[in-house]
Amino acid sequence: MDKKRNAIIFSFLTVSYAIGLYFFYLRYVPLVKSFQLALFPVIFIVFVLTAINIQWGTLFFIFSFPLINNLPYFFGIFEHIPHASTSLVLFLFFFLGWLTHNIFFRSTLSSKLPIVKPMTLFLVFLTFSLIITFFRYSNFFPFLSDYIYEHITNVNEVTAGGAIMSSIFHYLNYLSAFVFFLILINIVKSREFIKTILIVLLISTSISLIFSFFQHLIDIKIANNPLSFKQGLINGTFKDALSFGAYLATLIPVVLSLIFFFKRSAKIIPLLILLPAFFILPKTGSRSGFVCMILSLFLFFVLLIKVNWKKIRFILTKRLTVSLVFLIIIVALIIVYTSSFQESIALNRFKELIDLNKPGEAETGVQVRWNYNWKMGAYMINDYPLSGVGIGAYIIELPNYLAAKGIQYRKTDSAENYFLQVGSELGLLALILILWIFWEILSHMKKSLGESLSYGRWKYIQIGISCAILSLFLNFFLHTYIGSYEMKYTFWLLTALLFCLSKTGKEHEGRFHVAKSFRVLSVIMIIIFTGIHLWNSTHSLSLKARRANFNLTQDFGLDKTEKTSDGNEFRWTRGYGGMSIKIEKPVIEISLLASHPDIEKNPVKVKILLIKDFFKQQKLLDEIILTQSAWKIYEYHVPEEVNQEVILLVKVSRTWNPLKVLGTPDIRNLGVAIGKIKFRESDGKEK
């Protein structure tokens, strides 16, 4: 009975999730044929393998996620074209496979690990924040607006669709990484499987390094985004060069530990990866990654000396001597490389930090983060301490905050600090939970390097993974990697392996016991968080308030101004088009044109409305039917609206695409053309 009920529940979950994934794919994954031909086999394989065997699917996911992040760049899909990260899409199909597997074979996401408690509560906060933030940017569709219009949300004219996309992607950044961690700690049952995972990661990293050398020696523009290759930075197979640098800096201690772990000739394999990684890392331009790598290597050799200390008598043991010589060689290679070559990007970027305070020099590096990212994040926490501005909303609100402070800086970015990102978007309660999560990781790391340190060769793996986690943890203070899902998967993969290495018994099985007092406190915190965030989203953070505070012109669903052959201005709508206008005189004149090729056989219906008080009041001016491709003027008598600011909204029954219908190079979905709005005095003849 339990097996049958489990199958029914997971069948429902799988179908529901698959429907949601289908619409997500259509909306956020570029439907470029060549790109789809490259991506689809990968996501199909991870789905099928995971559905058959979760361990097989997990290994394929671990192999693939570092390698496919630059895939869109092969087909001209760059960062300025909003799209879902390929590693995120890969995970979504991996999880679909996990759900499908559970229809036939039972598995779980539960665990008795203490970290699960704050992680679960944080995800609840995250979910409520997403729901409320979505309603805010959709102008509380369907309760207030009848449609999700592309309202302007900030002074950079980011529309509601972009803001909602940011919220969804940031939500999935946290959620998918946590779920990946929970899947891993439930399926990793042996150290042999951990060894297999590390070997797969080695192979994947070596392929990424080979491609990075191709970029370095042949063409840096190949599968690189414009922001990186314009600065001469190598991104390998990653979303950007800084993510690639952080990944290498994180993996280097793990690769180094495998040199000590493998026996005899097998040591050459990680060594052949380590040396190219040292060579390429400075060419990624990642200063923080470079520093974190140095610190993690220092810690690695300190711990190596500690675990071998008992072998030290009056002279150094052979292993320690080799270790110290190896450390000296590594440090020497780094110093020689970064100081001998003037073209070293990492060295030049470090020089920028030294030159920060020179008179007349442009702001760079830490100074930019301090003035334009960290300070604004602190202001957001100060203004909304218990709820934040909403998940994914930091990047949307940043231009507004800069404008409010009178700062002429329009470049948007994340908070460039993981913890400030959480605090600014989700408030101090969620920040406490994140700090709790990281405290559990650090506590487990301490335990792993102390009482739970393995005997034999496995202790080197524990040391290497611990140093790698610490490296990326320190990097989180200078970057969020909120758009680099591959970095979050790397972090939580290593964290899961560390947890599984130190103990693989009952600690990972079953559900964590939650005391009644904690449950009550959690409910109170959730109610407070949700209530305050909802209040803020309907008041100071609402689209209406932002429009008033920053004088945002609400022109949405309209293309750029064009001109007719006789010089008259007009703009095309999509399925709708809205513009802010002030009613100057009692009669409004609206010129409309529909150019659908089949308009005579299939007329176009148009609704014209006046929106007041940001959709709290709507007035239908007319419903018209267009049957010819010709300009026509429509007049409406609106004396009661004179001198009022309103939104003129035009809704079109259907659109057409010139590229699909006529083959002309115009990919837009066109509704109707709206001419320049005119006003005149009443002549007394209007109805």
**Between residues 65 and 5, which one has the greater pLDDT?**
65
**Contact indicator for 236, 288 with CB cutoff of 8 Å:** no
Class of domain 556-680: mainly beta
Residue 32, pLDDT above cutoff 90: no
Reported as half-sphere exposure (CB side, CA atoms, 13 A), residue 627 has a value of 3
The DSSP output letter for 361 is P
Q: Which helix (H) or strand (E) holds 399?
A: helix 394-404
**Between residues 306 and 158, which one has the greater pLDDT?**
158
- Distance separating alpha carbons of residues 216 and 226, to the nearest angstrom: 15
Residue 338, pLDDT above cutoff 90: no
Alpha carbon of residue 666 to chain centroid: 30
Residue 528, pLDDT above cutoff 70: yes
Nearest to 581 by CA among 558, 553, 559, 560: 553
- Prediction pTM value: 0.90
Lowest average pLDDT, out of 15-19, 362-366, 375-379, goes to 362-366
DSSP labels, 85-99: -HHHHHHHHHHHHHH
* 588 strand-pairing partners: 636, 679
Reported as half-sphere exposure (CB side, CA atoms, 13 A), residue 346 has a value of 28
Q: Cβ-count burial of 561 within 10 angstroms (0-12 exposed, 13-18 middle, 19+ buried)?
A: exposed
Q: Which of 118-122, 498-502, 565-569 has the highest mean pLDDT?
A: 118-122
pLDDT tens column, 213-232: 999 999 999 988 887 888 88
Residue 660, pLDDT above cutoff 80: yes
- Distance separating alpha carbons of residues 310 and 307, to the nearest angstrom: 7
**Contact indicator for 468, 161 with CB cutoff of 8 Å:** no
pLDDT value at position 564? 86
Domain ranges of the chain: 1-107, 110-168+367-443+482-486+502-552, 188-354+449-480, 556-680
Taken in order 573, 579, 582, 586, the sign of the CA dihedral is positive
Residue 246, pLDDT above cutoff 70: yes
pLDDT value at position 360? 41
pLDDT value at position 454? 73
Residue 87, pLDDT above cutoff 50: yes
Residue 68, pLDDT above cutoff 50: yes
Q: Stretch 153-175: mean pLDDT, rounded?
A: 94
pLDDT tier, 659 (very low <50, low <70, confident <90, very high otherwise): confident
- Distance separating alpha carbons of residues 605 and 622, to the nearest angstrom: 11
pLDDT value at position 653? 94
- Residue showing tokens 């070293």: 344
- Distance separating alpha carbons of residues 376 and 152, to the nearest angstrom: 21
Percent of the chain past pLDDT 90, that is, above it, reads 58
Residue 500, pLDDT above cutoff 80: yes
Q: Radius of gyration (Cα) for the chain, nearest Å?
A: 29
**Contact indicator for 625, 604 with CB cutoff of 8 Å:** yes
Mean pLDDT, the chain, whole residue set: 87
pLDDT tier, 407 (very low <50, low <70, confident <90, very high otherwise): confident
Residue 314, pLDDT above cutoff 60: no
- Residue showing tokens 């409520």: 128
pLDDT tens column, 599-647: 999 999 999 999 988 888 889 999 999 999 999 999 999 988 899 989 9
Q: Stretch 289-303: mean pLDDT, rounded?
A: 87
Residue 21, pLDDT above cutoff 50: yes
* 590 strand-pairing partners: 634
Give the phi and the psi of residue 611 in degrees, each rounded to 5. Answer: -110, 125
pLDDT tier, 408 (very low <50, low <70, confident <90, very high otherwise): confident
The DSSP output letter for 559 is -
Percent of the chain past pLDDT 70, that is, above it, reads 88
Residue 503, pLDDT above cutoff 80: no
**Between residues 548 and 495, which one has the greater pLDDT?**
495
Q: Stretch 467-495: mean pLDDT, rounded?
A: 93
Nearest to 529 by CA among 132, 201, 184: 132
Residue 277, pLDDT above cutoff 50: yes
Lowest average pLDDT, out of 81-90, 424-433, 481-490, goes to 81-90
pLDDT value at position 363? 57
Residue 533, pLDDT above cutoff 60: yes
**Between residues 419 and 301, which one has the greater pLDDT?**
419
Q: Stretch 34-51: mean pLDDT, rounded?
A: 96
pLDDT tens column, 667-685: 889 999 999 999 998 876 5
pLDDT tier, 329 (very low <50, low <70, confident <90, very high otherwise): low
Q: Stretch 10-17: mean pLDDT, rounded?
A: 94
Give, to the nearest 10 degrees, the angle between helix 418-448 and helix 394-404: 130
**Between residues 76 and 209, which one has the greater pLDDT?**
209
Residue 55, pLDDT above cutoff 90: yes
pLDDT tens column, 102-135: 999 887 777 788 999 999 999 999 999 999 999 9
Q: Stretch 358-373: mean pLDDT, rounded?
A: 65
pLDDT value at position 359? 40
Tokens of 230: 């314009």
**Between residues 334 and 645, which one has the greater pLDDT?**
645
pLDDT tier, 506 (very low <50, low <70, confident <90, very high otherwise): low
Residue 531, pLDDT above cutoff 80: yes
Read off the amino acid at residue 328: I
pLDDT value at position 498? 94
Residue 140, pLDDT above cutoff 50: yes
pLDDT value at position 361? 45
pLDDT value at position 227? 79
Lowest average pLDDT, out of 383-392, 508-517, 606-615, goes to 508-517
pLDDT value at position 79? 61
First-residue to last-residue Cα distance in the chain:
71
Alpha carbon of residue 593 to chain centroid: 40
pLDDT value at position 358? 44
Q: Quick check: helix, strand or coil at residue 333?
A: helix
Q: Cβ-count burial of 581 within 10 angstroms (0-12 exposed, 13-18 middle, 19+ buried)?
A: middle
**Contact indicator for 641, 586 with CB cutoff of 8 Å:** no
- Distance separating alpha carbons of residues 215 and 205, to the nearest angstrom: 15
Q: Which helix (H) or strand (E) holds 619?
A: strand 617-626
pLDDT tens column, 178-191: 999 999 999 998 99
pLDDT tens column, 544-565: 999 889 988 888 999 989 998 8
Tokens of 380: 């957001």
Nearest to 351 by CA among 398, 282, 255, 266: 282
Tokens of 649: 């909204």
Tokens of 603: 């007329």
Read off the amino acid at residue 141: F
295 Cβ contact partners less than 8 Å away, ≥ 6 residues apart: 470, 471, 474
Q: Stretch 339-364: mean pLDDT, rounded?
A: 48
